[in-house]
């Protein structure tokens, strides 16, 4: 069995969790990790990164659901992602990026009550990202069946052009 060591994570796992939100200015936010503040969102370095350069884009408002973001927040979050990628490309020359949002504890969200977007730079051959070690994925439903279920919803909610 292959082993992956991430000793910096133990500080977070064992450490006392602060009261309040670690992303909110008025609560427990670590301003030393904030790299840029926009009008509705900000860029912050992840204290417990998967790899060097792991950033997060976070709205100022304390919300947990994607559908609760205002239009201006969505636009700025997307624009900040672009900015962060440009910065990381220039400063660290990664070969690629993982960008994602974990919605809920079951999806892997460590902080599930304040939505945030992860931007993780990747290099060919890096081994520091917490991935599936066994190289196995469980897909509980046939992909065609999933498409059959989802397609009507995509048709219903298609944006007007």
Task: Report the catalytic residues.
Answer: 116
What separation in angstroms does the CA of 157 have from each of 23, 142, 148, 150, 151? 32, 23, 15, 11, 10
Strands (E), 65-109: 96-100
Name the strand (E) or helix (H) holding 120. strand 117-122
DSSP string, 27-68: TT--GGGEEEE-SSEEEEE-SS-SSTT-EEEEESS----GGG
Instruction: Please give the Cα distance from 16 to 161 (Å, whole number).
Output: 50
Q: Which of 45, 55, 46 shows the shortest CA–CA distance to 81?
A: 55
Instruction: Please give the Cα distance from 139 to 147 (Å, whole number).
Output: 13
């Amino acid at each position: 069995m292959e082993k992956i060591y991430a000793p910096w994570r133990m500080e977070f796992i064992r450490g006392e969790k602060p009261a309040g939100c670690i992303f909110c200015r008025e609560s427990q936010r670590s301003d030393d990790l904030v790299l840029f503040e926009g009008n509705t969102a900000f860029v912050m370095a992840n204290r417990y990164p998967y790899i060097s350069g792991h950033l997060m884009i976070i709205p100022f408002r304390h919300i947990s659901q994607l559908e609760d973001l205002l239009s201006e927040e969505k636009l700025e979050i997307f624009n900040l992602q672009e900015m962060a990628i440009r910065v990381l490309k220039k400063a660290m020359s990664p070969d690629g990026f993982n960008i994602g949002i974990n919605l809920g504890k079951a999806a892997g969200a460590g902080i599930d009550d304040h939505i945030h977007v992860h931007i993780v730079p990747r290099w060919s051959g890096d081994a520091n990202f917490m991935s599936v070690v066994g190289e196995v994925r469980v897909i509980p439903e046939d992909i065609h069946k999933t498409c059959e279920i989802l397609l009507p919803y995509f048709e219903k909610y298609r944006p007007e052009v």
